[in-house]
A and B are shown apart, each in its own frame.
Chain A
Amino acid sequence: MLLEVKGLEVRYGGIRAVKGIDLAVDTGELVCLIGANGAGKSSTLRAICGLNPARAGSVRYAGLDVASVPVYELPRKGLVMVPEGRGIFPQLTVEENLAMGAFACADADVPRDIERQYGTFPRLKERRTQTAGTLSGGEQQMLAIARALMARPKLLLLDEPSMGLAPLLVAKIFEIVREIAAQGVTILLVEQNARLALEIAGRGYVMESGAITLADEAANLLADPKVREAYLGEGAG
């Protein structure tokens, strides 16, 4: 297992946002974690990459205990997150943003890696000298993903890449996520848009008020009547 989460618990003050969950991602998988607003998905993701301290339980990435590794070392070890709300640097140009993504890498490889991202995201190439703040929402999300790829991740954590995007763009972003996965990057995808997430993922976890209630192959989850009712907007009947 590339990523193994056991009994993870996250608390904000007295509130248990994540109530002791188990999840695992194997090398090469695309796994999604779906659930409603406030289910604890983002808290889980942030705990995995050390941004939120875990109150209990363990997160092991590539055999390492994440709690014992400083946050800034994780990108160097191939664990990279695309934060919720993208977290691009709005005042820097597209190219500067990409270069910043390679902060953990050797400088010599940066120009080649940037060209590779332009290959995946031709839109970004057109906008290379524009400041990131002037990009559209979809382009900003592409930039956030491209910037994360600059760190050459082994495991990419995506936090709600569809947030605030028009349906057409959401489909485009998911297409890109699928492509990246096909290139061999392991992905853990956190999403509210359950249908699209399950369509591209191999396996899925369903999270509800801090606990994982279902874990199965994505196809099975798509067919599951409970999932269909709660997350895919279809009536029980």
Chain B
Amino acid sequence: MNRTPPVAVWAAVVLIAIVLILLPFALSQVGTTWVRIANFAMLYVLLALGLNIVVGFAGLLDLGYIAFYAVGAYAYALLASPHFGLHLPFWVILPVGAGIAALFGILLGAPTLKLRGDYLAIVTLGFGEIVRIFLNNLSRPLNITNGPQGIARIDPLRLGGLDFSTYETYAGVLVSGPMKYYWFLLLVAVAIIVLNVRLQNSRIGRAWEAIREDEIAARAMGINTRNVKLLAFAMGATFGGVAGGMFSAIQGFVSPESFVLVESIMVISMVVLGGMGNIWGVVLGAVLLSFVPEILRWTVEPVQHALFGRALVEPEVIRMLIFGLALVLVMLFRPAGLLPSAVRKRELAERAE
């Protein structure tokens, strides 16, 4: 399996890289909105990869994952906005935000160490809601989060002299702010994918696999199940936190409304639809589930106008309908996800026998 990839593979990789790098130019022809959508897709890729560590690798069902996204987003917002008058540079906030998110990961992990399956899902769901409700209410007596109004005028990303919020022209080519974010996110996503691949094939990855399969046996193998589980939570949370920080910077505004339960479910759907435990599957799931609803948003209404002369159903409603349908179809025909992980594919194949 570790043979050097042939030239064809390298050529494909280079080709994909070129397409991905040039993509924002093509998208901005259609409209800058689509570059923004691509950016959100990238954020969801980061989120889905983080959740994949917890759910896919370690087998711990986490329904409150969006809480870590919220923590990362608020960490960035509080440290780089007029709210507290703090304007720390990005390279300071990134580790701080990631660290705080990891801490929250452990905070969630520690009391749930002995829980599995449904019970764990319920507690994590509660945790996600607790974080959101705190964000909503931490405005009195001391105004920390500014409550439901959220925090506005968050600093955009600045790296060195590069400002991510402005338009610029390089050699006659117009480069917009969202495009800069796109490339930055692409870089972060690639880094996190590489990290994930390395993690999966590492000692820690194997320990997670063992825990997912049989916890008692994992302990009998000499795996420190407590620390390894906490590490899964902390790692997943860190990725979520980094994504949250990027979200803050791109949006320039955060409020608790962005971190509702449906968002957690969305990320879980991406992981499940793409293929739990398979890094590429998860990436595919995240990209699909971020783009398809947007495409629907732009097509559902015109189609209805063309067919019935008026809009009968809101695009939002159709979106959820099609989502549900897509998930049901995937569960029926590809129960391990679009790109299943090797282990889960085996599992389902055996059950079918």
Interface residues of A (CB under 8 A from B): 49, 51, 70-76, 80-83, 87-92, 99-101, 103-104, 107, 131, 133-134, 147-148, 151
Contact = CB atoms under 8 A, between A and B. Distances in A.
Contact of A91 (B213, B217, B220, B222): B213
A92 B343 contact: yes
A91 B347 CA distance: 6
B75 interface: no
Contacts of A100: 206, 209-210, 221
A51 B225 CA distance: 12
Contacts of A91: 213, 343-344, 346-347
Nearest to B353: A134
Contacts of A87: 214, 216-217, 220
Contacts of B225: 72
B213 A76 contact: no
Interface in B294-353: 343-344, 346-347, 350
A139 to B, nearest CB: 15
Given A72-B224, A89-B210, A103-B223, A133 B350 contact: yes
A74 B221 CA distance: 9
Q: Closest 3 A-B residue pairs measured CB to CB?
A: A75-B222, A87-B217, A104-B222
A104 to B, nearest CB: 4
Contacts of A89: 209-210, 213-214, 217
B343 to A, nearest CB: 5
14 contacts: A51-B216, A71-B219, A72-B224, A74-B222, A75-B220, A87-B216, A89-B209, A89-B210, A89-B213, A91-B346, A100-B210, A107-B203, A131-B350, A134-B350
Interface of B: 203, 206-207, 209-210, 213-214, 216-217, 219-225, 343-344, 346-347, 350
A147 B221 CA distance: 9
Contact of A103 (B213, B221, B343, B346): B221
A82 B350 CA distance: 25
A91 B59 CA distance: 13
A166 to B, nearest CB: 22
Contacts, number: 68
Among B217, B219, B220, B224, the most chain A Cβ lie within 10 Å of the Cβ of: B220
A43 to B, nearest CB: 14
Contacts of A70: 224
Contact of B221 (A75, A107, A134): A75
Contact of B210 (A71, A74, A103): A103
Contact of B219 (A51, A131, A133): A51
Nearest to A50: B219
Nearest to B219: A71
B221 A101 contact: yes
B207 A103 contact: yes
Nearest to A144: B217
Nearest to A49: B220
B209 A103 contact: no
Given A90-B213, A103-B206, A72 B219 contact: yes
A28 B144 CA distance: 66
A229 to B, nearest CB: 35
A87 B210 CA distance: 11
A129 to B, nearest CB: 11
A99 B209 CA distance: 12
B348 to A, nearest CB: 10
A235 to B, nearest CB: 40
A71 B221 CA distance: 10
A107 B207 CA distance: 14
Contacts of A134: 350
A100 B207 CA distance: 8
B235 to A, nearest CB: 19
Contacts of A74: 222
Nearest to B348: A91
A87 B211 CA distance: 11
Contacts of B206: 99-100, 103
